[in-house]
């Protein structure tokens, strides 16, 4: 009789066979046999995810029950679904697994053993099992033998299509999180990122109650002093590039917890963007795409199987998931000390924010909640102007609790540990997109290095009244003029007009989304008068 590892207790009965915690080589072979993907010339498994090449935010729901209702920040991202609808799907998906092979992965989230959660991921596809094996923390043989019952179970059935009229979903796809039964259902999408983001949604719900601040950020540390820094930033701000510093150890690139003992990575792997991947600029990521790595939606040459990272005909959101030990300077295990420096990254394509500025505790809480960047406008109809983007806590889709809970925890830690906070603009200088130029990466690296090494502690600062930040007037390796954005614009009046416009965007966003924030945090933001 085959071993089913207790899957019958969640309704998965009569699977054809259950494969548990198989090796990357075995899972790759199985995925090839199942025709789930092909090999690149580097040995990586390359799959296409079909209709969904990124997260499906409109298809994510949280099960609304009396025990959790008052804790969730309900909005157009944290959407409710009834327990009845969830239970109906929870019976359908296990039934769908009948007479099919199951690829099971039992692993951990949280490098800090005191904060660790056990996740059981039940997969229909061998390729998705390979993905989550790479992304979660892999148990040792001894840990696996003593694994016991998971804290949370994720059922992943991309071949199961929901019926919106019956199931209460928005489309054929659905991502449903039930904190009460500690179950996640993922159906109708082959985009593997939904699995790891569901893990984040779980950790970000439970950890604050345990005195741990969950954060959507990267983290690195000095290999000698062990001093730790964390980097917040939305897509396109340079978070992955800037935290992957060859002179520092990478703790993790996506999600961390801040406990009384320090920083710890939630994951055991990386999920890197591949579009325009350049071996000279990002050698660590480029060289990590090899045997054992899962690659999504990258175009391969039909004859040579060589990946073309510059081809976006499938999607701009091409991805590679690999274990963190594929990165040569990764910290093992993924733990660091109390952060001495926090970096908020923004790519301001309006060209008005300073390239680096120091934030007070209240201003740090303001920018943490705001999560600002701006994206370059599309060129299909001709370039118009940059588009502002605000994502609460730099990770809105997976932060289920009220923002003030997370912001309050950050503020407490900044005050307690005297952590320094900087806002770094990796976007435009000398004018907006189309007029100015992108901030030179070497200057950004020099500014961050100066912040991390304490070189900005004792330099003169100028207070910027409009954006309510303090701008250093000197920085090693950076021309003084670069530090003051108004000085880089030929037309100073145009700068003033644009700065006022961007400050108003901040003001309106904050007033609309966070009307009940404490006054001292509101006052720490940009000013419109």
Catalytic residue among 240, 243, 293, 392: 240
Q: How many beta carbons lie within 10 A of that of residue 388, not counting itself?
A: 18
| Residue 235 is among the residues annotated as catalytic for this protein | yes
Catalytic residue among 235, 360, 391, 449: 235
Distance from C-alpha of 162 to C-alpha of 182, rounded to nearest angstrom: 21
Distance from C-alpha of 451 to C-alpha of 82, rounded to nearest angstrom: 48
Catalytic residue among 92, 197, 358, 420: 197
**Contact in structure between 225 and 300 (CB atoms under 8 Å):** no
Distance from C-alpha of 106 to C-alpha of 123, rounded to nearest angstrom: 11
Catalytic residue among 90, 118, 120, 239: 239
Catalytic residue among 20, 48, 55, 466: 55
Give the residue among 54, 451, 428 at the shortest CA–CA distance from 242.
451
| Residue 82 is among the residues annotated as catalytic for this protein | no
| Residue 245 is among the residues annotated as catalytic for this protein | no
| Residue 319 is among the residues annotated as catalytic for this protein | yes
**Contact in structure between 117 and 109 (CB atoms under 8 Å):** yes
**Contact in structure between 342 and 230 (CB atoms under 8 Å):** yes
| Residue 55 is among the residues annotated as catalytic for this protein | yes
Q: Quick one: how far is CA 519 from the chain centroid?
A: 29
Q: What angle, rounded to 10 degrees, do the helices at 126-135 and 193-206 form? A: 40
Q: Please, what's the b/e burial string for 470-481 (b: 16 or more CB within 10 A of its CB; e: otherwise)?
A: bbbeebeebeee
Left, alpha or beta for 273 (phi > 0: left; psi -120 to 50: alpha)? beta
| Residue 239 is among the residues annotated as catalytic for this protein | yes
Catalytic residue among 59, 245, 253, 254: 254
Give the residue among 479, 418, 488 at the shortest CA–CA distance from 446.
479
Catalytic residue among 319, 358, 361, 367: 319
Catalytic residue among 92, 216, 248, 249: 216
| Residue 458 is among the residues annotated as catalytic for this protein | no
* Active-site amino acid positions: 55, 197, 216, 235, 239-240, 254, 319
């Amino acid at each position: 009789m085959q071993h089913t590892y207790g899957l019958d207790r969640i309704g998965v009965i009569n699977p054809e066979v259950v494969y548990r915690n198989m090796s990357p080589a075995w899972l790759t072979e199985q995925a090839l046999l199942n025709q789930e993907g092909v090999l690149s010339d580097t040995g990586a498994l390359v799959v296409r995810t079909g209709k969904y090449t990124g997260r499906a935010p409109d298809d994510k729901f949280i099960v609304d029950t009396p025990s959790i209702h008052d804790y969730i920040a309900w909005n157009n991202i944290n959407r409710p679904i009834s327990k009845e609808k969830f239970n109906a799907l929870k019976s359908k998906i296990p039934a769908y697994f009948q007479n099919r092979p199951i690829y099971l992965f039992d692993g951990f989230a949280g490098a800090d053993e005191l904060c660790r959660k056990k996740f059981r991921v039940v997969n229909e596809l061998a390729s998705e099992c390979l993905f989550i094996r790479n992304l979660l923390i892999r148990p040792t043989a001894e840990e696996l033998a003593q694994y016991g019952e998971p804290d949370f179970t994720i059922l992943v059935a991309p071949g199961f299509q929901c019926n919106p009229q019956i199931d209460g979903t928005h489309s054929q796809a659905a991502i449903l999180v039930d904190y009460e039964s500690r179950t996640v259902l993922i159906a109708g999408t082959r985009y593997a990122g939904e699995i790891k983001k569901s893990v984040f949604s779980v950790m970000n719900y439970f950890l604050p109650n345990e005195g741990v601040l969950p954060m959507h950020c990267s983290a690195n540390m000095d290999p000698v002093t062990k001093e730790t820094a964390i980097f917040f930033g939305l897509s396109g701000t340079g978070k992955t590039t800037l935290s992957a510093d060859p002179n520092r150890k990478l703790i993790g690139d996506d999600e961390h917890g801040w406990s009384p003992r320090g920083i710890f990575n939630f994951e055991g792997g990386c999920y890197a963007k591949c579009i325009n991947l350049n071996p000279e600029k990002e050698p660590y990521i480029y060289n990590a795409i090899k045997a054992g790595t899962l690659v999504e939606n990258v175009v391969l040459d039909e004859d040579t199987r060589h990946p073309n990272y510059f081809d976006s005909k499938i999607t701009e959101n091409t991805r590679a998931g690999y274990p963190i030990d594929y990165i040569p300077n990764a910290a093992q295990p993924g733990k660091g000390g109390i952060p001495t420096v926090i970096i908020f990254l923004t790519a301001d394509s309006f060209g008005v924010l300073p390239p680096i500025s120091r934030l007070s505790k209240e201003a740090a809480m303001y920018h943490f909640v705001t999560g600002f960047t701006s994206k370059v406008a599309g060129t299909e109809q001709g370039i118009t102007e940059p588009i502002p983007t605000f994502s609460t806590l730099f990770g809105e889709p997976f932060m289920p609790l009220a923002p003030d809970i997370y912001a309050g925890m950050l503020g407490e830690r900044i005050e307690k540990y005297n952590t320094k906070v900087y806002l770094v603009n990796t976007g435009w200088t000398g004018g907006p997109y189309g007029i100015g130029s992108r901030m030179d990466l070497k200057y950004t690296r020099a500014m961050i290095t100066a912040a991390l090494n304490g070189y900005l502690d004792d330099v003169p600062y100028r207070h910027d009244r409009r954006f309510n930040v303090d701008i250093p007037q000197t920085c090693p390796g950076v021309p003084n003029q670069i530090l003051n954005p108004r000085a880089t614009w030929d037309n100073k009046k145009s700068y003033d007009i644009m700065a006022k416009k961007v400050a108003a965007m901040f003001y309106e966003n904050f007033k609309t989304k966070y009307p009940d924030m404490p006054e001292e945090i509101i006052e720490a933001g940009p000013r419109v008068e």
